[in-house]
C-alpha cells in the first residue's frame, strides 16, 4: 500500500502472530529495494487490546527499528481494515502514540482521514551541535507522534536533503531518539500551502511523503505565524496531503491528516 508515495508492506498479523523481533527481521529483509519487495516500512494489523477498539497498529521502519507512529501508514492500515470486513466509516485503533480515530469512506480511492494525538514539545531555534547540522540554518523541534526537526528553506527543490538530513537527524542535541527532518518552503502568495521534503529516520533517506512530517511542518508554520489558516495543503514529492487543526490560546488541538491510501497489489512471499 502507499499514501502519497510513502509505501508499506502490510501484514495481517491476526493470523501470523509475528513478535516484534520477527517483524524487525522481516522489515530488514523485505523492505530492501531491489533485493526484497521494497518499502519504507512494515505495517502489522494486530487484534486490539481493548474490545471497544477496532485494531492495533504496529509499525516497523525499513531498518528494523520500531516506529512509534506513521501518519501515512496509519491511514493505509485503516483502509486495509475496511477491506478486511470492518465496514464502519469511523474507526478507533491503538498505536504506540495513543488511540487514534479514522474516517474511512467505503468508496475505494476516496481520501482517508485520521485524527492524531496533540503535538507537543514545540521548541524554536534548537541549538544543534555539529557544524554539518548547523549549516541548514534554524531548526525547530516538535513531536507529532514521533520526533521531527523542521527547517524552513527558500527553495525546497534545491535543498541538499541528502547532506543536511542525516546530519540533523543524528545531531547529539536530538539524542537519543534523533528526529525526522522536514525541509519546508512557504508559498510565495501567503497561501496555506507548503512544499515539503522529509528525511526519515529508520528509512535513513528521503521518502516520497511523510504524514507526521506534513503535520509537523504545518503546525510549526502556524505556531510561528508563517501561515494564518487552520487547514493546510502540504505538497510532497509523492502527492498532496491535507493537515487541519484547531488553534486557540496558543494551543494546537484536533489535528487531522487526510490524503490517499491505496492498495498497490496483494501477493505471497516465502519465509
Structural domains in the chain plus CATH codes: 2-115 (3.10.310.10), 120-259 (3.10.310.10)
pLDDT at 58 over 80: yes
Please state the length of the chain.
271
Beta bridge partners of 5: none
C-alpha dist (Å) from residue 58 to 88, 91, 112, 123, 221 = 21, 16, 19, 28, 29
Bridge partners (DSSP) of residue 140 are 150
Is residue 76 annotated as a catalytic residue, yes or no?
Answer: no
Say whether 210 is catalytic.
yes
Among 31, 76, 151, 210, the one annotated catalytic: 210
Report whether 114 contacts 100 (CB < 8 A).
yes
pLDDT digits (tens, 9 = 90+) for 87-97: 999 999 999 99
> How many angstroms separate the CA atoms of 71 and 62, rounded?
16
pLDDT of residue 191: 81
Residue 54 pLDDT exceeds 80: yes
pLDDT at 122 over 80: yes
CA distance 133 to 267: 41
pTM of the predicted protein model: 0.95
What pLDDT sits at residue 271? 79
CA 237 to chain CA mean position, Å: 14
Among 31, 70, 76, 151, the active-site one is: 70
**Mean local confidence (pLDDT), 123-147:** 95
**Confidence at residue 209, expressed as pLDDT on a 0 to 100 scale:** 98
pLDDT per residue over 220-249, tens digit each? 999 999 999 999 999 999 999 999 999 988
Alpha helices for 32-160 (secondary structure H): 71-83, 131-134
Amino acid at each position: 500500500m502507499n499514501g502519497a508515495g510513502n509505501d508499506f508492506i502490510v501484514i495481517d498479523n491476526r493470523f501470523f502472530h509475528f513478535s516484534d523481533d520477527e517483524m524487525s527481521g522481516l522489515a530488514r529483509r523485505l523492505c530492501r529495494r531491489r533485493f526484497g519487495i521494497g518499502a519504507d516500512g512494515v505495517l502489522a494489523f494486530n487484534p486490539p487490546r481493548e474490545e471497544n477498539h477496532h485494531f492495533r497498529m504496529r509499525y516497523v521502519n525499513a531498518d528494523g527499528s520500531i516506529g512509534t507512529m506513521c501518519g501515512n501508514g496509519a491511514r493505509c492500515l485503516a483502509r486495509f481494515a475496511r477491506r478486511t470486513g470492518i465496514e464502519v466509516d469511523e474507526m478507533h485503533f491503538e498505536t504506540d502514540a495513543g488511540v487514534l480515530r479514522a474516517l474511512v469512506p467505503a468508496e475505494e480511492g476516496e481520501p482517508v482521514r485520521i485524527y492524531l494525538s496533540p503535538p507537543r514539545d514545540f521548541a524554536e531555534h534548537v541549538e544543534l551541535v555539529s557544524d554539518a547540522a548547523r549549516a541548514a540554518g534554524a531548526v525547530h523541534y516538535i513531536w507529532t507522534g514521533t520526533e521531527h526537526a523542521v527547517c524552513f528553506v527558500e527553495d525546497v527543490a534545491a535543498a541538499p536533503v541528502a547532506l543536511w538530513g542525516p546530519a540533523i537527524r543524528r545531531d547529539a542535541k536530538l539524542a537519543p531518539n534523533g528526529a525526522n527532518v522536514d525541509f519546508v518552503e512557504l508559498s510565495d502568495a501567503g497561501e496555506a500551502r507548503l512544499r515539503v521534503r522529509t528525511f526519515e529516520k529508520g528509512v535513513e533517506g528521503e521518502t516520497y511523503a511523510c504524514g507526521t512530517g506534513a503535520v509537523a511542518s504545518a503546525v510549526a508554520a502556524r505556531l510561528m505565524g508563517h501561515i494564518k489558516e487552520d487547514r493546510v495543503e502540504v505538497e510532497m514529492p509523492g502527492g498532496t496531503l491535507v493537515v487541519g487543526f484547531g488553534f486557540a490560546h496558543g494551543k494546537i488541538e484536533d489535528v487531522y491528516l487526510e490524503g490517499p491510501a491505496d492498495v498497490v497489489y496483494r501477493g505471497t512471499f516465502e519465509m
